[in-house]
Structure formats: structure tokens, C-alpha cells
Structure 1
Amino acid sequence: MPIPAEAFALSPGDTGTLQSQIQRQVAEGILSGRFRRGEKLPSSRGLAAHLGISRITVTLAYTELLADDYLTARGRSGYYVSDGAPHPSGILPRTRQDRVDWNRALARRFSDSAALRKPPDWRSYRYPFLYGQADPALFDHANWRLCAVRALGTRDFGALTSDAVDGDDAMLVDYLSHRLLPRRGIRADPDEILITMGAQNALWLTSEVLLNARRTAVIEEPGYPGLRDILGQSRCTVLPVPVDDRGLDAEAIPEGVHTVFVTPSHHCPTGITMPRDRRETLLARAASEDFLIVEDDYEFEMSFAAAPLPALKALDTEGRVIHVGSFSKSLFPGLRLGYLVGSAAFIREARALRLAVLRHPPGHVQRTAAHFLSLGHHDAMVRRVSRALHDRRRVLEQAIAAHGLTRAGGGGAYGGSSLWMRAPGRDTEEAAMRLRSAGVLIEPGGAFFSGARPPRDHYRLAYSSISADRIPEGVARIAAALA
């Protein structure tokens, strides 16, 4: 790709001749990696016109760079970055000194979160027991590609290019309203549905609309680390309530709360499914004490061991439940597409907040997903993934039993894609670091707990991103590291 003339600028404060300034900018561009081998430099005439200098000055600078093998000349074509040019140093040249006192300038800090970290090269590990990653062997690449191409067509041009302001893709909303949500027992009109940039964005919108410093929110303990970070931004009072082998106990919720956040289908991280009697008790208490419930319904599609229970939202007769869904697990996490379902008054405020922050998720992404869903490809893929996860779960449980590893709780009776584990007396953070050198990735469990000194003997084993044939050896290495 040609390097534009706009990549160059002359500053009155620069030292040296105009020719040397051009030479220095070309050399710094190559050494920093901004200018790559084989890329074409601006023509001497074009760069001279852009900088307002003589063309001979640019030609002399290029000639010097040619002699030093930074550039190469191609007859009647121009100057290019030479194949023999120095490799980028990896260190960008510092052109200014940062004199800002950021400790004083920052009004708030967000970098100290307990977010789950995954090595960017996790696919290079042979035994990646990591949660929430897509398996390319199970994804329907061909049909997704066809749907993406279809969404680029002239018939969908408006969905692709229009600024919908605060609106969503009508085709996607219609699918949710008439096909997907009814499977969860939920009836919702279009003005009760909002498309979001994944479940995390949905939780943030909900938190910002419902909570402030004078209100109290209940979360599960252990629970989703991202939710704790989100609630910290709202500055509300956060009360962790421990879960047992049946999920969150409504009787353990203290009085005076405003909002309760739950993951009833597959509790994060234990995988426990909240039984129906607890769901009904939670709804009854919400009605009697006038609080709201935010239901994160992730992984309900992965209920391969038994049919999923009706969503909390399906049992709600008073509009107290806000339902959060996502396509991250059933399609792929990089899609960043989710949805909120709630009363029209709540969705109206969440939509206005979304408008102020990002307007709406990309139209092409929404329309591609709508085609993929409406043509039945999503349902077919969910069935294929569920069968694979069922097989992997069986292999994993057999390997765990063979090596005497300890399950924590005993959840996951309805399926899911991970198991919650415990290693009594072991530091799983330290074990996870040692296991990396053996090609094994596990997720230490400390991040799922609140407080300054969380337990360090829990960990999560996911089986969505590792093939069944590699599970036994991976578990054997885990057992050896924890022995």
C-alpha cells in the first residue's frame, strides 16, 4: 500500500536542513515499523507539493536514502522501501516528553480490575482449558461467510450503511421477539428489546440506568468478575451473597436491596442451575420487598444434559426481571453481540444511554447475525456444539476421576462448557504459571471471589476450546502439577 504524503510534516522547530529532515522521517518510519518493506514512497513531485518545498530537495533526500539501502528505485515506478532496509527496532522514536502528572490528572481508575486474563497466544498451547473461546472445528465458517456476503448486498444496503441513531436491526429484533425468546418462555415486543455489544455492555447499561451511590446491589459469591468491576463504576453498595449447591438462596439476601444480579441457567463459575422453587421464591421476595432482578442467561443453549428450565423472565408477572442474553457462547465471543429484554420504560432509558455512548452496534454485524439465525444455521450449530461438548464433558469427568482431582460443588447438571474445581492446600495461581511451561492453560479461581484475600485453591476447567483426544493428557499434567 502506498505511503501517503500526509505521513510527512515539517516543523519549524526541527534542526537540520529540509533534506535531512525528510531523510530522518523516512528512516524513523522504517525503524519504527510504520513504513514496511515494499511500500511505495510518495512521488518526489507529490511530496514536494505537500510540504511546500523544492522537488530537488526531495529527490536529493531520496537519493541519499537509496545509497544507504533504505530505499530502492524502480524504473518509471518510483521509490520503495528496500528489502534490505533495517528491521524495525521495536522501539518507536520518542518525539516528545510526557510532562503530565497522570496520578493527579486521572479522575477515576479502571485498570485495577480483576478481569480474567488470557494469553494472546493461547491457541499455541496444546492443552487450553480456557472458557469462552470458539473452537474453529465446530464453527460454521461457510454459512457465516455466505450470510456476511448477503448482508453486503444491495437489498441490505440500508442496514449496512445507515446511521440508525438509536435503532436496531428490525430483522434481528424480529427473530429475537418471535423465535429465540419464546424458547425461553419470554414474550417481548420490539420496544422491550435492545441490542447490545455483548452481555458485558448489557450489564453496564443496566447498572448505569438502575444504580447510584445511594443504592445497594446483590451479587453472587463467587461470581462474574466483570460484573464487580461494572458495579464499582456505578459506586453503589455491593453485597456478595454466597451460593450453595442450588445457586443463590433468596432467603440469604439482606433487606433493603435495590437490584439482585443472578446467573440462574449456569451460575458463573460453578455451572450450578438454580431450581424452579428457588426461582419462584426469589421472584416472590422481589415482589414483596420491591427490588429488581437482573438475569444473566448465558449458556442456556448449552443445556445438553437436560432441557433448560424456563428463564426467570418467563416466570415474572410484574416486570421486575431484566433479562440479559448473548451470542458469545453460541456463535463466537468476538462477535460482541447481545441483547437486553425488559419493560419498555427501562429499555427506553437504556437505549438513550447507548445512543450517548455508541449509538448502536454495527449494522452489518447485526444483519449478518440476523441472516445466520433466521436461516437456521445457528440452531444447527448449537446442536453440533452441544454434541461435541457432551462428549468432551464425559471424557473430562472420566479423566478427573482417574486422577483423583476434586470437583467444587457438583454443578453443571444441565450441561455448560466448564467445571469448577478445587485443589485443597494448593495455590492455583502458582500452579497455573508452572503448567504453562507444560503447554497447559487453566483459569485460577481467585478472580471470581470478592475481597482483598480471595481463596487461592479454586480453578476452572473449560472444555470448549480443547479437543476430546487431548483432554486426558492435559488432565494428567494438571494432576501432576497439583500433586
Structure 2
Amino acid sequence: MLDIRLEDPAVAGQTLQQQLHQGLVDAILEGRLPSHEPLPSTRDLASALKVSRNTVVLVYQRLLDDGYLTAVWRRGHFVNEQYIRQQLRLSVDTRTASLFSKERDPDLWRRHLQFRPSEARNIVKPANWRDFPFPFIYGQVAPDKTTIARWRDSMRLAGSLAHSQSWVGDQVDMDDPQLLEQIITRILPHRGLRAHPEQLLITIGAQNALFLVGQLLAGRGRTVGVEDPGYVDARNIFASTGADICALPIDSEGLANSAVLADCDMVYTTPSHQCPTSVTMSLDRRLQLVERARKDDFILVEDDYEHELNYLGHQRAALKSYDNSGHIIYIGSLTKLMFPGLRIGYILADSELIKELRALRRLNYRHPSAQDQRAMALFIGEGHLDAHLRRTRDRLSEKWQLMQNEIARQLPELHVTPTTGGSAVWITLPGDMDAWAVHREAAKRGVLVEPGDVHYCDADSAPRNRLRLGFAVIERDQIAPGISQLRDAIMAIMAENRKGTAAE
């Protein structure tokens, strides 16, 4: 009898039918089923595995359709020997390795690598963050069962024969016209923007959009201004092109209108909720920066993430909405607040720039998944994205208020940067307390927090007493006890510091 073990679908993440199908395919391709012997009958296999006979019948039929099995009248189902012979099998033979030097060249990649992206300072998030009872982590989302079901429906519809022509073939460098239409009519108006299809480019997330822009507009001999503190990946992307990075100060209104802007060829900003402080840029500051970009002739890259997460006051129009000179490039994400792993973003800019970005994208990966694009167009068109954003905003608004209240109540000695929304709070610890020491002590208590020094351009002069507390994934009823545990960690560090001072 076949050695196939089926698990509870809730644990395996696959139905019994899918598990059985995969188990049989593995057995066939690994040669564990002789081609001259019939497989167990559907009745016998169903009995042995304790599943319905219909499950086995359906799996056998799929294997017949896919060519793995062949049916012989009155004898049963056999492995299709002709099909298996077509499978490429190469045995691993290392005897030829003896013809060459046995020593691995330790300097091989030192000679050939032009630069090492892995050496850049970057945010490090533990892979097991879900194991923490109090994950104050930024950039993740809580699963929304309704949205998952709606997305599954959209993907199923996009995969139907009626929509298959939009993604079966190679689209070369084109984007799904239905998705472009949905962005133009349903997404951009909420940001005060208008566009034509030739002004838009779909990307694999907003970060990919930054990479493409950096490849075209940064580079050696160019100066790129980034917010300090700011988005780490944007800084590293622009630096990887060989551009000079210029640290730009921020204040309570976002990116400051400083004199150093005039020294930049390109400026990157996050106006809706500044990364990492979550400060929202004021209207006056937006108008000042738009004018500075035109006057000083620098390109202004607007990364408008978390635009939807304003809990106090009205939504602000995008910087791009005031642009009549073409100096502003607008970058948005359709999936960051829904499924960050889905990675669908877009760029809005002058058609001349979009033409070159499209040509560059073609050299890179041609176009994002056409099926994902069509599914997203259907998802937006049926109102599911708007509904998801409303649920997310309502849920995060409650958490945002609770975070403010609990920090003020339990940790009044901390300074919280005032914001009107977002999904994280930016905290200054008292005195010269080391955020990394708090991070380690808090982890012992099941609390995950993120030290903020990595967001500053200069590692040596970066403040060591900043923390970012994300609240998108932590359960609402875990916020108060989580802040309590964080308080205990901070108190423990303060006590340790006092002991050290007394010993001196």
C-alpha cells in the first residue's frame, strides 16, 4: 500500500484532496510506484487513508488528465511510463571535480562584486515575531478574513476563461488597462490627483518603484536628499546607485524647507506620514516644497504611503496635486495596508519619464504579474479595497488612541511625537537611555520593539534613545499589558544604569 500520510487540513493548509494529489505526484516522480503494477483501487485507497472514495476518484482523474496515470480497462490505473521517461533525470556525479583545483578561491567574489548591498545598515526584524505576545512591530498587518475571502474571489474570477486573455500571453511592457482605469477613477481622486494612462506605470510594490526611479535619476555625480531620520530602504536604494546622500532635517511639519534643498538633484519625502515619525506634512509646507522644487530645479519624489490613515482632521491632497511644472514623481502602493506580500504599486509622473521607466522595467522584469493586475482591477472595481481601508482605518484609529492613552498613563516620562494618524508611534526615551538595551530587556518579557537609530543617515551621531512602536498587528486588548511590560523593561534598565553610576 502507498505510504501517504494525510494531515488535518487546518494544520496542513491543504485539503485532503490536495494532499493526496501531491503525495501521489511525489511518489510517481521519485520512482516509488512501479509502472507494471496497478495503483490501489479507489475503494481500497480510500479505505486505507480513511477518506471518501470520491476524494480518491477526483485525484485519480486529475492525474489521468495531467498524464501521470493511464487507465487500463479491467486492470486499473498505472503509472504512465511514457510520460515518466520524458522527465529529465540527471544523476549527481562529482568525479569530474577531480580534474580541477580542490581549493575554493576565497577572494573570488571580493574581486568580482562591484558593491555589497548586505553591508548597508538596515532594519532587522525577527522572523519569529509572531511568537511574541506583544509585537509592537511596524510593516506587518493583521489578517482580515473578509478581505482574504474577497481577494480569493477576485483571483478566481481573474483566472477564469473570460479574463484569461489579459494574462495568458506575454504583455511585454504593457500594464493591465482595467487596473490603470481603476487607479485613475477610484484611487487618484482621493489624493486630489488626475492622470492619463500614459502617465502611470505599475510596479512590484512602492519599493520597486523607488528602485526604478533611482536607477534613472540618481547615480554617480548626483546628490539625493533624504529625510533624516527617514526610510532606510530608500536611503540604501539611492546610495546603491553611487549617488551622494544628503541628510535633510525634519520638524513637526515633516520635511523642513531648509537651504540645503538647493544642493540636491533629487529629494525623497514621505508627506502623509513621515517615516519613521508618522508626522503629517502641513499644507503650508507642501506648498513651500512644491515651489522650491520648481525654483531650485530638483526632482521631488513623493512616497505617499499610509495616506488613508489620518484619524484627526481631513485627508491632505498629495504634493503632486499642486505640481504644474512636472518636477514631482508620485509613488503609491495598492497593497501595503492590505497584503504587504502581494506587492502592487504604481508611479504617476510626466509621460516622458514614464516612457523611460517602462523601458527600464522591461529590461528588469518586463511587467508585474498580469493576473495579479487583473485581480486587483476587479477587487477595486467591486469596492473591496475601499471597504478594506474603511475597516482598517476604524480598527487602527482605536488602537492609535489607546496607544496614546496607555503611554501617557503608564510611561509619562517618555516623549511621544505628536501625530494625526499612522500605524506607529515614535518615542524618545528619557536621557541617554539606550534603545537597544530596552529592546533586549523587553524581548525577555515578550515585548518586541524597534530601536530607531538605523533610520538616521550617520550611524555615529544617530540618537540612541529612539523607539518605534507599531500597533497594526498587536491585538487591541494586548496593548495595555504590552505597555506595562515595556514599562517594566525600561524601569529595569534605569535601575541597572543607576547601579552602574553608583559603582563609578
What's the TM-score bracket when you normalise by the shorter of the two chains?
0.7 to 0.9
AA in 2 matched with 1:383: R
1:180 corresponds to which residue? Answer: 187
Partner residue in 1 for 2:348: 341
Q: Deviations over 1:112-144 (max 9, x none)?
A: 122222222211211111112120146512111
How far is 1:458 from its partner? 0.5
Pairing 1:455–2:463 present: yes
> Does the CA contact (< 8 Å) of 1:403 and 1:479 recur in 2?
yes
**Paired-residue identity, %:** 35
Specify the code of the residue in structure 2 equivalent to 1:196.
Answer: T
Please state if 1:201 is matched with 2:208.
yes
How far 1:251 moved relative to its partner? Answer: 2.8
Distance 1:271 1:406, change over 3 A: farther
For residues 408 and 350 of structure 1, the distance between their equivalents in structure 2, rounded to whole angstroms, comes to 42
- The verdict on how the C-alpha distance between 1:334 and 1:185 changes in structure 2, with shifts beyond 3 A counting, is same
Q: In the alignment, which of 94, 119, 123 is matched to residue 116 of structure 1?
A: 123
Correspondence for 2:428: 422
Alignment match of 1:42 (pick from 19, 22, 31): 31
| 1:331 paired residue number | 338
Inter-partner Cα distance in structure 1 for 2:349 and 2:132: 41
Deviation at 1:201, TM superposition (A): 0.5
Structure 1 CA distance for aligned equivalents of residues 130 and 412 of structure 2? 25
Q: Using structure 2 for the length normalisation, give the TM-score.
A: 0.76
* Mapped contact 1:408–1:422 kept (Cα < 8 A): yes
Q: Which structure 1 residue ranges, 5 or more long, are not aligned?
A: 3-34, 47-75, 80-93
Counterparts of 1:207 and 1:261, CA distance in 2: 10
Mark the CA change 1:478 to 1:162 in structure 2 (over 3 Å): closer, same or farther.
same
2:480 to 447, 472, 475: 472
In structure 2, C-alpha distance between the alignment counterparts of 1:430 and 1:460, rounded to whole Å: 14
Residue of structure 2 in register with 1:99 after alignment: 104
2: CA distance, partners of 1:303 / 1:407: 23
Match among 350, 359, 362 for residue 357 of structure 2:
350
Structure 1 residue 432 corresponds to structure 2 residue 414: no
Task: Report the CA distance between 1:39 and its aligned residue.
Answer: 4.1
Check conservation: 1:419, 1:462, Cα contact below 8 A.
Answer: yes
Match of 2:269 in 1: 262
* Counterparts of 1:291 and 1:207, CA distance in 2: 14
3-state SS of 1:400 partner = helix
Q: Deviations over 1:406-427 (max 9, x none)?
A: 55563321x1111001113221
- The whole-number CA distance in structure 1 between the counterparts of 2:33 and 2:374 is 45
Q: 1:76-475 residue pairs with structure 2 within 5 A?
A: 99-100=104-105, 101-137=108-144, 140-405=147-412, 408=415, 410-413=417-420, 415-424=421-430, 425-453=432-460, 454-475=462-483
Q: Which AA in structure 2 matches 1:423?
A: L
* 8 Å contact from structure 2 (residues 426, 466) kept in 1: yes
Query: Quick one: structure 1 residues 43 and 181, their matched pair in 2 at CA, closer, same or farther if it must change by over 3 Å?
Result: same
Runs of 4+ in 1 over 3 A off after TM superposition: 38-41, 43-46, 76-79, 94-98, 405-409
| Alpha-carbon displacement from aligned partner over 1:16-74 (angstroms, at most 9, x marks no partner) | xxxxxxxxxxxxxxxxxxx99x845316988xxxxxxxxxxxxxxxxxxxxxxxxxxxx
Structure-1 separation of matches of 2:368 and 2:413: 42
Contact 1:419 1:460 in 2 (8 A): yes
Distance 1:201 1:408, change over 3 A: farther
What RMSD, in angstroms, separates the aligned Cα atoms of the two structures?
Answer: 2.6
Contact 2:218/2:241 (CA < 8 Å) preserved in 1? yes
Q: Which residue of 2 aligns with 1:65?
A: none
- Is the Cα–Cα contact under 8 Å of residues 416 and 425 in structure 2 kept in the other structure? no
What is the TM-score with the length of structure 1 in the denominator?
Answer: 0.79
Secondary structure, in 3 states, of the residue corresponding to 1:314? helix
Partner-residue secondary structure (3-state), 1:253? helix
Counterpart Cα distance in 1 of 2:183 and 2:397: 26
Shift of 1:329: 2.8
Q: Distance in 2 between matches of 1:338 and 1:407?
A: 36
Per-residue deviation at 1:446? 1.2
Is residue 456 of structure 2 the alignment partner of residue 481 of structure 1? no
- How far did residue 386 of structure 1 move? 0.6
* CA deviation map 1:201-238 (0-9, x unaligned): 01111111112211111110000000111011111111
**In 2, distance between residues paired with 1:409 and 1:473?**
18
- SS of match in other structure, 2:104: coil
Task: State the shift of 1:105 in Å.
Answer: 2.7
State the secondary structure of the residue aligned to 2:377: helix
Q: Equivalent residue for 2:45?
A: none
Partners of 1:423 and 1:264 in 2: CA distance = 25
Q: State the number of aligned residues.
A: 408
Structure-1 residue corresponding to 2:89:
none
1:284–1:482 CA distance, 2 compared to 1 (3 A): same
Distance in 2 (CA, whole Å) between partners of 1:149 and 1:406 is: 52
